[in-house]
Amino acid sequence: MPLQTVEPQRLYRQIAEQLRSLITAGEWAVGARLPAERDLARQLGVSRPSVREALIAMEVEGWVEVRTGSGVYVLDRNSQASQTSRVQQLSPDEWGPLELIRARRLVEGEIAAMAATQARRWHLDAMTKAMASMQADADQGVLPLDGDRAFHSAIVESCANVVLIETVQRFWDARRGPLFERLGGHFETVDSWRAAIAEHQAIFAAIRNHDPLAARLAMHAHMDNSHTRFSVSWRRTKSKSKSKGASLT
């Protein structure tokens, strides 16, 4: 038998594979609640964000159900309800959402600093228009993703570097993926919209004032806060998630 090409797996997929194997082996029965994230992270020797990404991947693929305010429960994959529910197969190339935010912090922090030295009036006008769109959508309870993308696009376009522009576009393509969308469905609230819009305003103010250090720090703060918003306890989320929306990252 010929050897097969070995492909590296993303960490969250390796974690999910272990958990799926344990479920299949009967370690946790249908309807059972999985151990808390912190316990799984300790036993696996990984970070809690990596465990969270794995659990979200398993939910997208129909292995578990995340019940905000309660925990993560094993589903019966053979039931008719499970077979007809919104189950997706993830691409092996799907980026983990929390890992994506950390990468964006690094890259877009430097982009914001560069924009503070290079942005022209029309770039600032585009950012202003994008923030107004975000605010209008948020006021109507609409996910303000279009304005959010336009804001970050205007920043990177001011750098006049096609590699950076295409990199940020790739970030946004991943932002629309099933993992990120499912995670947002659990943790994004109207309050998170408001907080993120204020963070965008701080980034804009630093760029408008031609202050690279402040722009970098404001972008870092925005990404750090976005990461935190997606990392609250499953059990604390229910009281904060009366309505859903975008994290505005």
Tens digit of pLDDT at every position of the chain (249 positions):
555 544 556 888 899 999 999 999 999 999 999 999 899 999 999 888 889 999 999 999 999 998 877 889 999 987 645 554 566 777 777 888 888 999 999 999 999 999 999 999 999 999 999 999 999 998 888 888 899 999 999 999 999 999 999 999 999 988 888 888 888 877 777 778 889 999 999 999 999 999 999 999 999 999 999 998 887 765 555 444 444 444 445
Domains and CATH numbers, the chain: 11-84 (1.10.10.10), 97-240 (1.20.120.530)
CB atoms within 10 A of CB 49: 21
pLDDT at 92: 73
H helix intervals, 91-144: 97-118, 121-139
Measured at the CA of 39, the angle between CA 33 and CA 43, to 5 degrees, comes to: 115
pLDDT at 186: 75
What's the CA gap between 140 and 103, in Å, rounded?
31
Q: Are strands 71-74 and 64-67 parallel, antiparallel or unpaired?
A: antiparallel
- pTM beyond 0.85: the answer is no
pLDDT at 8: 54
Which is nearest to 218 in space by CA: 123, 136, 141, 151?
151
pLDDT at 29: 93
Residue 220 near residue 211, CB atoms below 8 Å: no
Which is nearest to 55 in space by CA: 13, 10, 103?
13
pLDDT at 175: 85
Cα 90 to the center of its chain, rounded Å: 15
| HSE-up (13 A, CA, CB side) for residue 184 | 23
pLDDT at 235: 52
